[in-house]
Structure 1
Amino acid sequence: MKKLFTTTSLLICGVVICLAAIVADVSGKWVGSVKGPDGDTEFPLTYVFKADGNVLTGTLTSPQGDVPISEGKIDGDKISFKISFGDQAIVNTGKVYADSIGVDSDLGGQKFHVLLKRAK
């Protein structure tokens, strides 16, 4: 019985570690869209993330052009970064899932949520 418990525990730990590695893999191209202030217009967004340890870099491509990601951090399945349009900084926080990333953005008190899917 003790051997079965130990084997099962090790198997579960192995699966959890593998899933954590998959979840934390943010490098690559991610696509989504955000609704405009009127609620009707959608703007396409493409993020290209590059992870190096717990540092997140990359770019955002939007209708306004390419914008570099700054102050990017990875903490387990959580990410945070800033993007700037002129003198306007947008703070972003997100959670990484196996096949998507949920990103919450704060633009001077106006909040947006974007669901990104890995581009194929």
Structure 2
Amino acid sequence: MKKTFTIAALLVCSFAAAFAAFADLSGKWKGMMKFNDMEFPLNYTFKVDGEKLTGTIGSDQGEFPIADGKIKGSDFTFTLDFNGEKIPNTGKYYGDSTVITSEFQGMKNKIKLTRAQ
């Protein structure tokens, strides 16, 4: 009985921790993307609803919606449509930062994001 209760308590705590990670990714993030020796400031806004991730990415080029967003634990994926080209993105949420790998024109770019103030 005691062992069953302990296992059940661990499962509930694990679920609660995973749910907290989902909730914490929501909000505004900022980072800098390097591409061909140039740097571009980016602003991300994420919204998490269950395992669905939505939001936008803002840059000097304008604001673009993210599509096909999914989140599972601390890992997430989405695509960005930039001038008709679909750009796949994968990310990992670390609590105080987020790292996104974006693949564009055959090149992979890592972008570290921090919470926007």
Scaled to the shorter chain, the TM-score interval is: 0.7 to 0.9
In the alignment, what sits opposite 1:23? Answer: 21
In the alignment, what sits opposite 1:98? Answer: 95
* Residues 1:76 and 1:66: Cα distance change in structure 2 (over 3 Å): same
TM-score, reference length from structure 1 = 0.81
Q: Does 1:51 align with 2:48?
A: yes
In the alignment, what sits opposite 1:32? Answer: 31
Q: How many residues align?
A: 116
Is the CA contact (8 Å cut-off) linking 2:22 and 2:50 kept in structure 1?
no
C-alpha RMSD over aligned residues: 2.2
Larger radius of gyration: 1
> What is the identity percentage for the equivalent residue pairs of Structure 1 and Structure 2?
43
TM-score, reference length from structure 2 = 0.82
Report deviation, 1:33.
Answer: 0.6
- Of residues 14-23 and 104-113 in structure 1, the stretch that sits farther from structure 2 once superposed is 14-23
Report deviation, 1:20.
Answer: 3.6
CA distance in 2, matches of 1:93, 1:112: 11
Residue segments in structure 2 that go unaligned for 5+ positions in a row: none
